[in-house]
Amino acid sequence: MYDELRDTLQRQTTLPEDQLDLTASALLIARSAYPSLDPAPYLDRLAHWARHLADEIPADSDIPTRIAYLNRFIFEELGFHGDDEDYYNPRNSFLNDVLDRRRGIPISLALVYMDIGRRIGLELEGVSFPGHFLVKLTVMGGQVVLDPFNGGVSLDEDDLRQRLHTQYGHAPGTVQSLLHRAGKREILVRMLRNLKGIYRQQGELQRALEAIDLIITIDPHLDEEYRDRGLLFYEVDYAPAALRDLRHYLVAQPEAEDAARIRELIIDLQREPVQLH
């Protein structure tokens, strides 16, 4: 079942960016936890919501009005909200759960927000802002940055700098370089990295390995993921796979800051082929 999921995800994410269905791909990732999941009812639900909302919005509405309608519909009428109480629950990263429970983390709520918003004529884009995924809309003379985790509130540059300062203790003079558009594959990878971190923290190493495997399936050029997968294989005493991935990382990143440590691990693996199998 897992091999089928990986093969399907690979076929879907090798499509050109404009043909890749982000929402369907996110639901596909959810099959890692729900193998029998059928995405169709969830896609139909989103389409139904968007049609209902579109019927409510006056045809000549400007962008601020459309955003206001979108926020009211998603966060007040439908009741979507950020899950502050159980933020690191894996269910907050699975789009089917987010749609059923109407709660999630920044990136999963952003997917719902972007999907419905685009269907009503708002060309919303994801933003991989440090520590907190956001959404933006390019408008005449600039861009509007929105936070679906906090009710779709609009954020100006001072707000964004303050968030960085609160989280990291410092902030750059301008945040414009941090507001680049996140491509669809980048968004899917970030979702999986969230799951990888959650599973790793919870000690669910097999699930963490599967998350990394799906990340590499989407983007095989992310060298650090081979390192991380190799370290997990090392931790579960699977030497052949650990050697393969750690060697791949060193070949790709011979001058990495952790290269010396990785070389030592490879030597250890080669010295103990019997114990580490």
For 95-133, the pLDDT digits (tens) are 999 999 999 999 999 999 999 999 999 999 999 999 899
> What pLDDT band is residue 271 in, cutting at 50, 70 and 90?
confident
Angle formed at CA 104 by CA 194 and CA 139, multiple of 5 degrees: 90
pLDDT at 273: 54
Crossing angle of the two packed helices 106-119 and 22-30, in degrees rounded to 10: 140
Residue 274 pLDDT greater than 70, yes or no:
no
Residue with tokens 């927000």: 113
Three-state DSSP string of the chain:
CHHHHHHHHHHHHCCCHHHCCHHHHHHHHHCCCCCCCCCHHHHHHHHHHHHHHHHHCCCCCCHHHHHHHHHHHHHHHCCCEECCCCCCCHHHHCHHHHHHHCEECHHHHHHHHHHHHHHCCCCCEEECCCCCCEEEEEECCEEEEEEHHHCCEEECHHHHHHHHHHHHCCCCCCCHHHCCEECHHHHHHHHHHHHHHHHHHHCCHHHHHHHHHHHHHHCCCCHHHHHHHHHHHHHCCCHHHHHHHHHHHHHHCCCCCCHHHHHHHHHHHHHCCCCCC
| Residue 73 · residue 56 · CB < 8 Å | yes
Full-prediction pTM beyond 0.75?
Answer: yes
> What pLDDT band is residue 8 in, cutting at 50, 70 and 90?
very high
pLDDT at 272: 67
Amino acid in position 228: D
For 172-226, the pLDDT digits (tens) are 777 888 999 999 999 999 999 999 999 999 999 999 999 999 999 999 999 999 9
- Segment 69-81 shows an average pLDDT of 98
For 12-61, the pLDDT digits (tens) are 999 999 999 999 999 999 999 999 999 999 999 999 999 999 999 999 99
What does the alpha-carbon distance between residue 219 and residue 214 come to, in Å, rounded to a whole number?
Answer: 9
Angle formed at CA 6 by CA 108 and CA 17, multiple of 5 degrees: 60
For 131-176, the pLDDT digits (tens) are 899 999 998 878 999 999 999 999 999 999 988 888 888 777 778 8
pLDDT at 183: 96
Angle formed at CA 23 by CA 108 and CA 52, multiple of 5 degrees: 90
Domains of the chain: 2-182 (3.10.620), 221-277 (no CATH)
Structure tokens belonging to residue 126: 């994801």
| Residue 224 · residue 249 · CB < 8 Å | yes
C-alpha to C-alpha distances, 88 to 40, 193, 198, 200, nearest whole angstrom:
27, 12, 6, 12
| Residue 115 · residue 125 · CB < 8 Å | no
Residue 62 pLDDT greater than 90, yes or no:
yes
